Chains A and B, each alone.
Chain A
Amino acid sequence: MDLGPFETDNSVSCRLSSQVPDVCRTEDCCLGIDEAGRGPVLGPMVYGICFCPVSKKEELKNLKVADSKTLSEAERENLFQKLDEAKSFVGWALQILSPNTISTSMLQRTKYNLNALSHDTAIGLVQYALDSGVQLTEVYVDTVGPAEKYEEKLSKLFPGITVTVRPKADSLFPIVSAASICAKVARDRVVKTWNFAEDLGDVDTDYGSGYPNDPKTKAWLLKYLDPVFGYPQFVRFSWSTAQTLMESKGVTVHWDDEDEDGEKAAQRQNNRSMLSYFGASAGGNAQNPTHQTHRFFTERRLKSLDTL
């Protein structure tokens, strides 16, 4: 697995893939989808697909691929090796969603949540397999959100393909297990050798599992919190763990799409708050209604100053 394309720019989403085995272009194939790194506050989320001819399902089973969570890192690496050796009939593809992609999607003006992002990535990978000429007839997916809804959505998008969405699909279908191994191996490797785009000097890479409840991860997050910029792009800003720390330890930053209320917000929206009617009338000069600034200036947000 060559992670080079992602490592040259780890701020974006990147696709890696194996050669498509020739049999997959001629025989009916099954495809499994799984993801790794959904929960951690650190590092990318990796989506993986694995596909092979339906007739070779047994051979895949003999590789003893199992749910990646039940395996040690060494066992996973070992199994990935085996999958790679079976490249005459097994193909895979990965979509690495960088933490930066996740942060910017979830925090943009029109929110794009993790489930939608997951669904779209999975759909994109299936489409990639189809576009590469893989004769898909069966697709197995570990669910994200309610299984029936997801299954319906995928079935509609890919008519003619039997879509099976099940929770814990990675332990039920070997092809999903294979996909989960690819995804997990890729994520482990990326996290281990993360290239920090930021100039952090000698980075302490002892950040633990990357899951929010890991004390090592928490300690790392505290250590690398910059009061102005927050975190390096390695951290998912949209995770509440990161947000809470930035809110308590960082400088407050205001964005114009934030919900605000109270008197200040009203003032900003040029509304008068109820309270203002009761206060003593302040004899301000600029606010004096008899001196209405010409719209040339107000439209351009220009105002006179009385002091610097």
Chain B
Amino acid sequence: MTTKKKRTPIVNNDSWVVIAADSAIDTQKPDSDPAFVRLRNPFTDAASLYMLSSGDVQLFEVKAFEEDFHSWFVGQIVQRDGRLLFVTPMDPLYLILPYLIKSGKEGKFQPVDQVVMDEEFPACSRLLSCKRSLASLHHIAEEKEVGAVKFHRYSQEKTMNWLKKKVEKTATVLKARNISVGEGVKSTTYVRVKSESHYCEEDYLRYAHGLISEYISEDLSKALLKHLQLPELKSPTETEPPSKKRKLSDKPVEAGEDYTKFNSADFARKPPKKMTAAQKSLAKVDKTGMKTMSSFFSPKVKKENQ
């Protein structure tokens, strides 16, 4: 009765359902609207969508809640994509950081407007107009002032301290919001009977570190983990018991559980024993014309029978 329904791809809409901070749509300059811009995502190194408020005063990141089988009824219109966009404030320093790190490899003090440049994402220079950008550069770079011009040089040490503070702040918020940070907890909608106060500081810090790592490069994330003195977690495959892999050997390959062999005359055959290193080297000796040790002890009767 039912025919297979085919999905047609969702074509780009010209409207979205967005939740945004009030400050995102404040028009502070009369002829400039807030705008979506594509900038380099420090985590993926690829393009991501951000928003700059009017006059590039503030930076916002754009996240989409996206789940299958959702649509919107907006007024008298049905909107096919059930996405909910969140436009939330973001520290522009995260996006500036990769450019500073890159130029920092040269070890020179440079004016930031010469550093924050990207052929692929020309909009990145607008990041420097953000209120917080220039004022907070000292968190990640050393500053030098020559005349009226400021010069900056990336400082790993300062950056680590800055990121550490971010992690600690995030951990505080995670605690306050009662966010479950334990391992193995999958569902956020699952109602727990017991309160999860048993999480230790480290769980929160590690979770917060994971969250902050969404905004920095992988190298930086690793360095930060060290800086936080959190031991690197072993991947789950390593913590599992060693796999029962068959060891390589030159012995003929046999099925692990071959019950047919018990039906044959070989039934009495003893499984080959493992040999020590000494036995192995002895086994390699040329034994032609040598009697086995056991032959000396075998009963005489047997010999006669042969």
Contact = CB atoms under 8 A, between A and B. Distances in A.
A61 to B, nearest CB: 44
A223 interface: no
A240 B1 CA distance: 7
B214 interface: yes
5 contacts: A295-B210, A300-B188, A302-B86, A303-B63, A307-B49
B49 A258 contact: no
Interface stretch (A8-16, A173-181, A284-292): A284-292
A306 B38 contact: yes
A302 B65 contact: yes
B280 to A, nearest CB: 42
B69 interface: yes
B7 interface: yes
A64 B218 CA distance: 89
Interface string B25-62: 00000000000101001011111110000000000011
A111 interface: no
A58 interface: no
A268 interface: yes
B64 A305 contact: yes
A72 interface: no
B223 interface: no
Contacts of B201: none
Interface residues of A, number: 32
Given A254-B5, A291-B43, A304 B69 contact: no
Interface string B183-226: 00011100000000000000000010011011000100000000
B3 interface: yes
Contacts of B44: 285-286, 288, 291, 304
B135 interface: no
Interface of B: 1-8, 12, 16, 36, 38, 41, 43-49, 61-69, 78, 85-86, 179, 186-188, 207, 210-211, 213-214, 218
Given A256-B68, A299-B187, A305-B48, 20 more contacts: A228-B78, A243-B1, A247-B5, A252-B6, A255-B69, A256-B69, A285-B41, A290-B218, A294-B210, A294-B214, A295-B210, A296-B207, A297-B63, A299-B188, A300-B65, A301-B66, A302-B66, A303-B66, A304-B41, A305-B85
Contacts of A264: 7
A307 B66 contact: no
A270 to B, nearest CB: 11
Given A268-B68, A285-B46, A299-B186, A304 B1 contact: no
A-side interface mostly: loop
Contacts of A303: 63-64, 66
A305 B213 CA distance: 17
Interface in A96-143: none
B65 A301 contact: yes
Contacts of A294: 210-211, 213-214
A295 B66 CA distance: 15
B87 to A, nearest CB: 11
Nearest to A296: B211
Given A252-B5, A308-B49, A296 B210 contact: yes
Contact of B5 (A258, A288, A290, A291): A258
Contacts of B78: 228
A290 B210 CA distance: 14
Centre residue among A254, A260, A296, A304 by max chain B CB count within 10 A: A304
A276 interface: no
A171 to B, nearest CB: 32
Centre residue among B12, B67, B69 by max chain A CB count within 10 A: B69
B204 to A, nearest CB: 12
A293 interface: yes
Nearest to B62: A305
B121 to A, nearest CB: 11
Contacts of B2: 243
Contacts of B62: 304-305
Contacts of B36: 308
Contacts of A302: 63-66, 86
A306 B48 contact: yes
A254 B214 contact: no
A297 B214 contact: yes
A294 B181 CA distance: 12
